Amino acid sequence: MTTPTTINKTPTIAPKTFDKQLSNACADLSDAMIEVSSLNFSIKNNAILKNLSFSMAAGEVYALLGGNGAGKSTTLKTLLGFNKPTEGSVKVAGKEVSKALDFVRGKTAYLPESATLYPHLTARENVEYFLSLADIKKSDEQINAAFNRVALQHDAWDRHMQTYSKGMRQKTAIALAILREAPIFLLDEPTSGLDPVAIDEFNQLVRELALTGATILMVTHDVYGACQVANRIGLLKNGELVGEFDAPQSGRIDTEQVHAAFGHHAKRGA
Ligand SMILES: Nc1ncnc2c1ncn2[C@@H]1O[C@H](COP(=O)(O)OP(=O)(O)OP(=O)(O)O)[C@@H](O)[C@H]1O
């Protein structure tokens, strides 16, 4: 087992000020919104995740950084309850995932690499449809407010989503998560395939969501993007957490430092 190196261990910039919507959703929760403790996950005796531990409080953005095959998607699948831990514990919003699947899925918004919304429906129709599946009723004004909050351009709201860029699809998916009042976001490679302007917009949106109390876990192999947006970065290599970096009180994590550590680990096969 490798002991994670903790670098720049100063308090994170995580704000603890919830907005009303999210504070309602989080009121009954303990401090840690995500708590992974000594997680081991194996498939047919092949160890995929090894003694993985990390936790996140409300308002934090954590980037799990790793190369191909490091175990990032497996970690997300375990948090969503699709993989049962071989050993250890995975708690989301205070509950053990495998024992409270519906509760956990109600609290989480999972954005896969390509947001899966219906291309032949408009953004508004998609949002209404997925809300109705969850038995949630929102007014037109509330939906408009969510579209405005994610800065989805007004002239696209009632257009079929097949005409959308990836960035616009992501904004719609985040608007849906906001309307579902999901306090926890799990993002898989959220900026891959986005142009630089869309990346900046996306990063800004993520930071704004965190400022209102959302807990955001993103998996990525983009060192630069992770440093732009995360309060904390965990370096995953061969299923093990081999390093953690915290943002200073005000400011960002040092890209060069993470790049050097990531490159070092990647050379040995992340
Ligand atoms: N169902 C499976 N059966 C066997 N091995 C698997 C299975 N799922 C994942 N693995 C293995 O687990 C390891 C981690 O895979 P995972 O998809 O979590 O990596 P990742 O970090 O998300 O990679 P990428 O960046 O390429 O998506 C890989 O070696 C992969 O081959």
Q: What is the pLDDT of residues 86-136, one digit of tens each?
A: 999 999 999 999 999 999 998 999 988 877 789 999 999 999 999 999 899
Q: Please tell me the distance between residue 244's alpha carbon and the centre of ligand 1 in angstroms.
A: 21
Q: What is the pLDDT of residue 11?
A: 33
Q: 114 and 166 in contact (C-beta within 8 Å)?
A: yes
Mean pLDDT of 136-151: 93
Q: What is the pLDDT of residue 19?
A: 44
Q: What is the pLDDT of residue 157?
A: 96
| CA atoms in the 13 A half-sphere facing the CB of 156 | 19
Q: What is the pLDDT of residue 266?
A: 67
30 CB neighbour count, 10 Å cutoff: 12
Mutate to test the pocket of ligand 1, among 42, 65, 73 (most ligand atoms within 8 A of CB): 73
C-alpha–C-alpha distance, residues 11 and 249, integer Å: 6
Q: Where are the alpha helices (DSSP H) in 62-165?
A: 72-79, 101-107, 123-133, 140-149
All structural domains of the chain, each given as residue ranges with its CATH number in brackets, are 5-116+183-267 (3.40.50.300)
C-alpha–C-alpha distance, residues 116 and 111, integer Å: 8
Q: Where are the alpha helices (DSSP H) in 3-136?
A: 20-26, 72-79, 101-107, 123-133
Q: What is the pLDDT of residue 194?
A: 80
What is the ipTM for the molecules in this complex?
0.96
Q: 209 and 185 in contact (C-beta within 8 Å)?
A: yes
Q: Is 70 in the pocket of ligand 1 (CB under 6 A)?
A: yes
pTM: 0.84
Q: What is the pLDDT of residue 268?
A: 57
How far is C-alpha 39 from the geometric centre of its chain's CA atoms? 19
Q: Please tell me the distance between residue 139's alpha carbon and the centre of ligand 1 in angstroms.
A: 41
Q: 232 and 60 in contact (C-beta within 8 Å)?
A: yes
Q: Please tell me the distance between residue 167's alpha carbon and the centre of ligand 1 in angstroms.
A: 26
Q: Is 69 in the pocket of ligand 1 (CB under 6 A)?
A: yes
